[in-house]
A = this chain, B = another copy of it.
């Protein structure tokens, strides 16, 4: 196999992919075909992992009762978050749509095996959190792959991890990383919804770089 050459056209398209990737909360109900979903998961499985441990575990959630439990978990945590807002931001928070759980045709719980045999412990002795970081890289790979194939992804973090793990009946030692909604997006945008809803604005990139 010859290594690929990424020309200027691809470089521009790749930058455009990053610009137009969104955290999607508005989905069309159209189904995502099984073969496409599995193609996306196979691409996510190419993500980097500490010590080549591939510690990510994907849970495809179809059962209506389990989905309802996740929905209730989110609703309770989101209500608590709303109650914790100051008076200046509570109204704004209440108007945000923070999950597409009701319409997204695909639900995916992402976990890690926190002490995987695979990888033989390499690279995580001083930083065991790199196992979780590997799963985040897999989620981000899935996110970009999904956008490349016209599928939107929304990451739901406003949940109680222990209750979510129980609702999905995963092995006791698995660590919850994130709950993902996937489906065809209701719209496209080159700016974050939280910015369009005036919750927050992005800062220039030179504000996050220092020299030593």
Interface residues of A (CB under 8 A from B): 1, 3-4, 6, 10-11, 13-21, 23, 41-43, 45-48, 50-54, 56-63, 66, 77, 80-81, 84, 89, 93, 96, 98, 109, 118-120, 122-127, 129-130, 132-133, 136-137, 139-141, 143-145, 147-150, 155, 157-161, 168-170, 177-178, 188, 190, 192, 194-195, 199-203, 205, 208-212
A211/B60 in contact, CB under 8 A: yes
A200/B118 in contact, CB under 8 A: yes
Chain B residues contacting A4 (CB-CB under 8 Å) are: 13, 16-17, 20
Per DSSP, chain A at the interface is: mixed
Given contacts A6-B150, A52-B192, 18 further A-B contacts (CB under 8 A): A11-B149, A14-B14, A14-B144, A21-B46, A48-B155, A52-B201, A57-B210, A59-B212, A60-B209, A62-B212, A77-B125, A109-B212, A122-B199, A123-B158, A133-B177, A140-B140, A144-B144, A168-B212
- The verdict on A161 contacting B208 (CB below 8 Å), with A10-B148, A140-B137 known, is no
